[in-house]
Structure 1
Amino acid sequence: MNKTVTVYGATGVAGSACVDELIDQGLFNIQVLLRQGQDRDRSTLGARAQSDKQALYERWQASGVKLIEADVASHVSLIPALKGTDYLVSCAPYAATESQYALIYAAREAGVERFVPSEFGFIYEWEQFWPMDTEHRAIARQKAFIRRVIELAGLDYTIIPAGLWIEYYMLEPVAVMGDGNNKFAWSSGGDVGRIIPHVLAHPASRNAICPVAATAYCSWNELLETRELLLGRKVARNYLGAEQWQAAYSNQPPGPVKTVMAIGVAATQCPEGMPLWANWNGLHLPEFKGTPLQELFPNYIEPFTAAMQASLNPLSGVTK
């Protein structure tokens, strides 16, 4: 009998890709948990229009996905909604990390077997102890605490760190972490969602940290050289060490750019021999293929970067 997977935060970039991949994979029964009540949508990239959400729901229902509504801030509402769920996948954005507490309690009461928290970035268990206190390290501490809550609840877990989301780091001049030669795990939001069902289906993922490179496993220099070939020009870049990242972060006013820069601080403070990212899928999921960079850059990364350039202060303030 197939396991049942319920996805929370399903209309975001990773969440919707996760549901679509679950449908294509055909290994699980699929449910989508819809928000009911007063809890607002706190998507990192901005909420989808309601009409777009409705189109998603209708397409998913036509593929056999069950939609369940609950007040996601109320365990009284969540417990019956989660009955029959084997694996609960949270694709909550970082701005809504605390929304997972009610989910964990309700999952325990509903008999859920495994909880997949929204940890699709760094290995937060390590980052929470890094020297400089940044807003991203504060997020790391909360996510590490949520891990303890999952364990306290007696639930199995699967943690899927996915390294750097490429789309957030291509504003020019590109701020490179370190000398650009060390390999990093790179993931686009869509590929993060796509890889979740494959990690879940693997027996080695139970009660495990599975750090993936959902799109590519390569150095900054290799990634940017690929981008240059596709653009037909040089990509402006600055190479920043730990002290430079710390200074730039301290001087940056509050906002989305400062949040992204906090990740650079953590990356450049990572001790030698203790990498923040790995390529778990390269070992355990060799059949999984991320979106080719030759397709991803022109069709997604470049339009995303242009939109960021228009709406945010670019990382041009991050200089040597």
Structure 2
Amino acid sequence: MASSISVGVIGATGKTGQSVVEGLLSSTTVFDITSFTRESSVNNKTNQQLEERGVRIVGYDIDGPKAVLVDKLKGIDVPISCITWEHLKQQIPWIEAAKEAGVKRFVPSEWVGPAPKGIIDIKDQKLDILGAIHRARLPYTIIDVGCWFQVFVPQVPSGRSDHGHSIYIDHPIVGDGSQKFALTDMADIGSYVARIISDPRTLNRHVFAYTEILSMNEIWDSMARVSGETPLRDYVTEAEIEEIIDTCGKKLQSSPESAHHPSNIMDTANFNMGQYRISWCIRGDNTPEYADYLGYLHFWKLFPDHPKGRSIEAFYKHIVSAAPQT
């Protein structure tokens, strides 16, 4: 019988972290799972629920001595970072401690799609983190999953889909809506992760795991088929997106508050989504073809027998059927 793989999920109580833990718990591979959580969150409800399912809860202080972090990582084969974009630099102490602890591979926080440096500020920060991993010569695996289904939930006249999308993200179709890009239901990320980190072929490689390749027109058509309604269609040009990025970027630079301060949240959302839209819907970076160019391994070529994640139509069906009753 194969021995278990010891996995430590940093940020296990967040949305991505919960998907990762669920995928590990549901896998046929045996994982010994630890939730690394801030000391102040050790006893929160989500961690209590994880503990009831056999997940070990370990508190940490990112500003504490490195030796303490090293000790917590000893015995962990694979630390997986689900740290949110606002705190990506907090991965540096984990990387340094992971190197000293001798982990077998480190999975940094990626969870979106392939892109070159200089297009998306958040991706640039993630590439800087990869640079820190390379400088440490730490074994790693990069996992990109494309755009989440949850980002694009087209509105329908009845309002049945309104509860399914973020109030911080508007829904214009970019350009003519024909550029295809990769998408994944957030809930399926963990299933793909469990398979990837169990395979030696993915060590020190970039892996692209996704469920659908669709254009914005096809996304809107999917909602139309599921809802029986005609989704609202607004359009935005590349030039208009660039203007939004420039305007919001200048406002954020001049603000005395951080980018994720409540007073800046809309400008931050518009700035970030503007850059993602240029990458996904204009440049076509978030595609298997561009991933090929960058040297990624493709999940479905590695694991052709793996069950497909939920389709976008199934996701939208759940959204419209779960609409609050008025």
> TM-score, normalised on structure 1?
0.78
Q: Which of 27, 46, 58 is the equivalent residue of 1:68?
A: 58
Q: Give 1:266's aligned residue.
A: 279
Farther off after superposition, 275-284 or 151-160: 275-284
Once the 2 structures are TM-superposed, how far is the Cα of residue 274 of structure 1 from its aligned partner? 9.2
The answer for unaligned runs of 5 or more in structure 2 is 156-169, 249-265
Whether the 8 Å contact between 1:242 and 1:265 is mirrored in structure 2 is yes
1:251–1:154 distance in 2 versus 1, CA, 3 Å = closer
Structure 2 SS opposite 1:102: helix
Once the 2 structures are TM-superposed, how far is the Cα of residue 55 of structure 1 from its aligned partner? 3.9
- Establish whether residue 216 from structure 1 lines up as the match of residue 212 from structure 2: yes
The within-5 A match list for 1:79-118 is 79-118=70-109
* 1:25 partner amino acid: S
* 1:248 partner amino acid: I
Q: Give 2:245's aligned residue.
A: 249
Aligned length: 283
Once the 2 structures are TM-superposed, how far is the Cα of residue 201 of structure 1 from its aligned partner? 1.9
Structure 1 SS opposite 2:79: strand
Once the 2 structures are TM-superposed, how far is the Cα of residue 277 of structure 1 from its aligned partner? 5.6
1:241–1:162 distance in 2 versus 1, CA, 3 Å = farther
The within-5 A match list for 1:168-207 is 168-170=151-153, 172=155, 174-207=171-204
- Establish whether residue 141 from structure 1 lines up as the match of residue 138 from structure 2: no
2:52 and 2:319 mapped to 1: Cα distance? 22
> TM-score, normalised on structure 2?
0.76
Whether the 8 Å contact between 2:179 and 2:281 is mirrored in structure 1 is no
Runs of 4 or more, structure 1, over 4 Å off, are 271-279, 300-304
Q: Give 1:318's aligned residue.
A: none
Once the 2 structures are TM-superposed, how far is the Cα of residue 16 of structure 1 from its aligned partner? 1.1
Q: Which of 288, 308, 324 is the equivalent residue of 1:289?
A: 308
Once the 2 structures are TM-superposed, how far is the Cα of residue 231 of structure 1 from its aligned partner? 1.2
- Establish whether residue 33 from structure 1 lines up as the match of residue 36 from structure 2: yes
Structure 2 SS opposite 1:114: coil
Structure 2 SS opposite 1:116: coil
* 1:230 partner amino acid: V
1:94 and 1:160 mapped to 2: Cα distance? 15
Q: Which of 226, 229, 235 is the equivalent residue of 2:231?
A: 235
Whether the 8 Å contact between 2:113 and 2:182 is mirrored in structure 1 is no
Structure 1 SS opposite 2:53: helix
Q: Give 1:3's aligned residue.
A: 5
The answer for unaligned runs of 5 or more in structure 1 is 42-48, 131-136, 307-320
Whether the 8 Å contact between 2:24 and 2:190 is mirrored in structure 1 is no
2:112 and 2:320 mapped to 1: Cα distance? 18
